[in-house]
Amino acid sequence: MNSAHVEITSAQNARVKEWAGLLEKKHRDRRGRFLIEGVHLVQEAVAMQAEIECIVYDSERGVPHELQDILQLEAVEWIAAAPHVIAKCTETDTPPPVFAVVAKPKPSLEALYKERALVVVLDSVRDPGNVGTIIRSADAVGADGVILGKGCVDLYNPKTVRSTMGSIFHLPIMEADLLTLLPEAKQRGIRLTGTSLQTDHSCYDYDWTAASWLVMGSESQGLSPQIKALMDETVLIPMRGRAESLNVAMATTVLLYEALRQRIK
């Protein structure tokens, strides 16, 4: 262990209480900070030059070997903590060897309005695993951003962050009031496309090459009536088998890859 590193052994330490507080949305919102857990997320945060307040590692295991090459980062404070301290600040059944406190990014809306922009918009999608998977799919196809409307799970919920597998740092993601933002997007020439089981317009016949915001609704209810009324078009994913529907993450992924297929011809 580097002798310059601070070591914390008490779960009652003021900083530990501050970190553990970030498990709750109200404290994340107040401080503008969130937690990332595990070696991979820390590596991604460093690689994408996220604003890292501190990196906390298990004092018994030491700095993970995968992170040895970033020990000299001058702007990052390294802290050794006892295993029970790590456990208090994380939600996983098996505490990770490391976590970090990161500032919430402040992405610009302008990237979402660019020519041929492809953006995913979520309306009341509450499952953190689904939201994380959608962010990963958006990242995989090179989408320009993801927008979470009211009623969605908090982007910085630890479960959501973990399920993004680092994609949270790769593209602009923001939370917004869709009833304000979507009409503005329409005025700027963006086509709003939703999904519906009541349409006969196949997603494979739709032109995804223009600037498009793909708007996806909740797992159980689909798009809310106010949001659905703003759509320029609704499409469906054809299904040959007997499944009633795909879950929202799977459906979003299918649609994003159709958009990618059309755009790389």
For residue 4, what pLDDT is reported?
A: 56
- Are the beta carbons of 219 and 131 closer than 8 angstroms? no
What CATH number is attached to the domain comprising 248?
Answer: 3.40.1280.10
Q: Which residue has the higher pLDDT, 141 or 74?
A: 141
Between the alpha carbon of residue 121 and those of residues 36, 39, 162, the distances in Å are 24, 29, 20
pLDDT at 248 over 80: yes
> Where in the sequence is the domain holding 134, given as residue range(s)?
109-263
Q: Is residue 1 part of a domain?
A: no
Q: Which residue has the higher pLDDT, 148 or 115?
A: 148
Residues 90 and 114 in one domain: no
Structural domain total, the chain: 2
What CATH number is attached to the domain comprising 13?
Answer: 3.30.1330.30
Residues 114 and 97 in one domain: no
Domain-terminating residue out of 45, 69, 103: 103
Between the alpha carbon of residue 76 and those of residues 27, 139, 207, the distances in Å are 22, 27, 46
238 exposure class (CB count in 10 Å sphere: 0-12, 13-18, 19+): exposed
pLDDT at 211 over 80: yes
For residue 84, what pLDDT is reported?
A: 94
Q: Is 264 left (phi over 0), alpha (psi -120 to 50) or beta?
A: alpha
HSE value, Cβ hemisphere, 13 Å, CA-based, for 214: 33
Mean of pLDDT values over 56-73 = 92
pLDDT tens digits along 25-40 = 999 999 999 999 999 9
Measure the CA–CA gap between 69 and 43, rounded to whole angstroms. Answer: 10
Count other Cβ atoms within 10 Å, centred on residue 5: 15
Banded model confidence at residue 243, pLDDT cuts 50, 70, 90:
confident
Count other Cβ atoms within 10 Å, centred on residue 193: 23
Banded model confidence at residue 215, pLDDT cuts 50, 70, 90:
very high
Phi, then psi, of 15 in degrees rounded to 5: -70, -35
Residues 59 and 82 in one domain: yes
Domain-terminating residue out of 66, 85, 103: 103
pLDDT tens digits along 117-163 = 999 999 999 999 999 999 999 999 999 999 999 999 999 999 999 99
